[in-house]
Amino acid sequence: MENIKIKSLGPIKQADINFGDLTFFVGPQASGKSILLQLIKLVSDKNAIETRLENYGYVWGTNEDNNLERFFGEGMNGIWDEKSTEINVDGLPFTKSRLLPQKPGRKNEKKETVFYIPSQRAICLESGWPRFFKDYEVSAPYVLRDFSETLRQYLDAGFSHGGSHVFPQDPGIFNGQLTDSFNESIFHMGKVTVELHVKKRLMLKINDMNLPFIVWSAGQKEFMPLLLGFYWLCPPNKFRRNDLTTVIIEEPEMGLHPEAIKSVLLQIIDLLQIGYKVIVSSHSPVLLEFAWAFNFLKESNAGDDSLLDLFGLQKEAENETLLKGILHDKTIRTYFFENKDYKVSVKDISSLDPGDEDSAVSEWGGLSSFASKANHIVATIAANNG
């Protein structure tokens, strides 16, 4: 998908989005970011979604509104207005009739192309092991059930024995510096293992303590399913998985220290290098600071060493490989979901120019507005006192 245009979908009044290799969505809560992200999954993978639901005993029927609820979750069928909603993908309309079942004999003709890491991901591991697809209420969004089932199958296939090391892995899947950073900022030199105690569950071993998931910190709970998603996306051969082309990540910064967010950014860069396109929704200024710096360095024809300096990485072969060529080869775009009187317009703020007259651009969709105001007030008072 290169472009999507939307009119009147849920709170979104209008959107015209051209995707980069990495695309950021920013904006306040309840401004339609998740709706749009889930729509991208739906229009890209509708046939595969229908097949998977039916394989698990759910009905994808002839009522479009019921199918909307089956995908977006209970009560969400009202986001699509029969008279006013328009969706256009790469120049072609996606009409509500496309939500009807596939024609007989054409099942399984299309595999999933979008991998979705939802914001509710910690729910997947609430008992210390990913929940089955059918363990969720039918009201739960498809993307949550699908993500949970993917993690369950992944862990069952690769970490089914007691004592298996889930983190850190040896040899590691990740760049060594990333593993060290995750260890220092999130797991504090602990080890995540699989324990067989009545049933399989993840445990965090720190010193003499063996901690079940329920007592982990909020940041550890939020990060663990994200980490497992990264594992699944990054097989040892460093090629894209199957037919996947796009990764969607909602709020990867949740519960994380800025240093850990920086490491997550580096892992996202690794996904770009493997060949995925990545779409991220965020409330973190750290991610937008990176996007602003990246675009400035790209326009300045800076070399890869500038990114090593930005992330504080040593000039070593592994780190140079991670960042090689991305300033030349990749693009980043940023969109702001601007909510006025409960009507959302999606605005391209990709320049992230601090000097732009439009505050949506200069204040990065509001993520830098408080810091800008604080700096201005402090500078003004300091000047007056001087």
Which of 285-289, 356-360, 369-373 shows the lowest mean pLDDT across its residues? Answer: 369-373
Q: pLDDT class for 220, splitting at 50, 70, 90? A: very high
- What are the φ/ψ torsions at residue 285 (nearest 5 degrees)? -65, -20
Q: Which is higher by pLDDT, 183 or 249?
A: 249
pLDDT cut 70: percent of the chain above it: 91
- What are the φ/ψ torsions at residue 114 (nearest 5 degrees)? -120, 125
Average pLDDT over residues 103-118: 79
What pairing do the DSSP bridges indicate for beta strands 343-348 and 12-18?
Answer: parallel
Residue 102: what pLDDT? 84
Tell me the per-residue pLDDT of 336-356, one tens digit each, with 9 for 90 and over.
999 988 899 999 999 999 888
Average pLDDT over residues 350-368: 85
Is 47's pLDDT higher than 70?
yes
Residue 169: what pLDDT? 76
Q: Looking at the domain 3-146+239-350, which fold is it?
A: Rossmann fold (3.40.50)
Residue 375: what pLDDT? 59
Average pLDDT over residues 62-90: 94
Residue 211: what pLDDT? 93
Looking at residue 65, its amino acid is D
Average pLDDT over residues 62-78: 93
Average pLDDT taken over every residue of the chain: 89
Which of 24-38, 61-75, 103-117, 267-281 shows the lowest mean pLDDT across its residues? Answer: 103-117
Average pLDDT over residues 3-13: 96
Average pLDDT over residues 106-113: 71
Tell me the per-residue pLDDT of 137-179, one tens digit each, with 9 for 90 and over.
988 999 999 999 999 999 988 876 666 788 887 655 666 777 8
Q: Which is higher by pLDDT, 371 or 278?
A: 278
Residue 378: what pLDDT? 66
DSSP string covering 23-34, please? EEEE--TTSSHH
Residue 295: what pLDDT? 93
Q: Take residue 138 and report the two structure tokens written for it.
A: 């039918």
Residue 24: what pLDDT? 98
Q: Which is higher by pLDDT, 22 or 260?
A: 22
Is 108's pLDDT higher than 60?
no
Q: Answer whether the bond into residue 11 is a cis peptide, omega within 30°.
A: no
Taking only Cα atoms into account, the Rg of the chain, rounded to an integer number of angstroms, comes to: 22
| Dihedral, 213, 219, 222, 227 alpha carbons, nearest 10 | -90
Q: pLDDT class for 197, splitting at 50, 70, 90? A: confident
Average pLDDT over residues 214-236: 91
Q: At what angle do helices 304-311 and 285-299 cross, to 10 degrees?
A: 160
Tell me the per-residue pLDDT of 293-313, one tens digit each, with 9 for 90 and over.
999 999 999 999 999 999 988
Q: Is the C-alpha dihedral spanning 209, 215, 216, 217 positive or negative?
A: negative
> How far is 178 from 14, CA to CA, in rounded Å?
39
Q: pLDDT class for 107, splitting at 50, 70, 90? A: low
Which of 95-104, 239-248, 304-313, 372-381 shows the lowest mean pLDDT across its residues? Answer: 372-381
Residue 144: what pLDDT? 97
Is 361's pLDDT higher than 70?
yes
- What are the φ/ψ torsions at residue 201 (nearest 5 degrees)? -155, 155
Residue 240: what pLDDT? 81
Residue 94: what pLDDT? 95
Beta bridge partner(s), residue 26: 282, 336
> How far is 380 from 296, CA to CA, in rounded Å?
28
Residue 196: what pLDDT? 82
Q: pLDDT class for 237, splitting at 50, 70, 90? A: low
Q: The whole model's pTM is what?
A: 0.93
Q: pLDDT class for 181, splitting at 50, 70, 90? A: confident
Average pLDDT over residues 250-259: 91
Looking at residue 377, its amino acid is I
Residue 316: what pLDDT? 87
Q: How far is CA 210 from CA 162, 163, 207, 223, 226, in A?
A: 13, 12, 8, 18, 21
